[in-house]
Amino acid sequence: MPPRRYNPDDRRDALLERINLDIPAAVAQALREDVGGEV
């Protein structure tokens, strides 16, 4: 099986998109926990 090839720029964009979506969700979750679920 050949090694998986990818375009580094595409990979970087995909990772940045994932980070940009995941971080606000994680922050919102942490805030909800801090204030007892009222955000």
Amino acid at 25: A
Cβ distance 18 to 29 under 8 Å? Answer: no
pLDDT of residue 4: 66
Cβ distance 32 to 39 under 8 Å? Answer: yes
Which element (helix H / strand E) includes 2? none
In the structure encoding, which two tokens stand for residue 39, read together?
Answer: 């955000």
Tens of pLDDT, residue by residue over 1-39, are: 556 677 888 999 999 999 999 999 999 999 989 888 655
Its pTM surpasses 0.75: no
pLDDT of residue 3: 63
Half-sphere exposure at residue 14, Cβ-oriented, CA atoms within 13 angstroms: 6
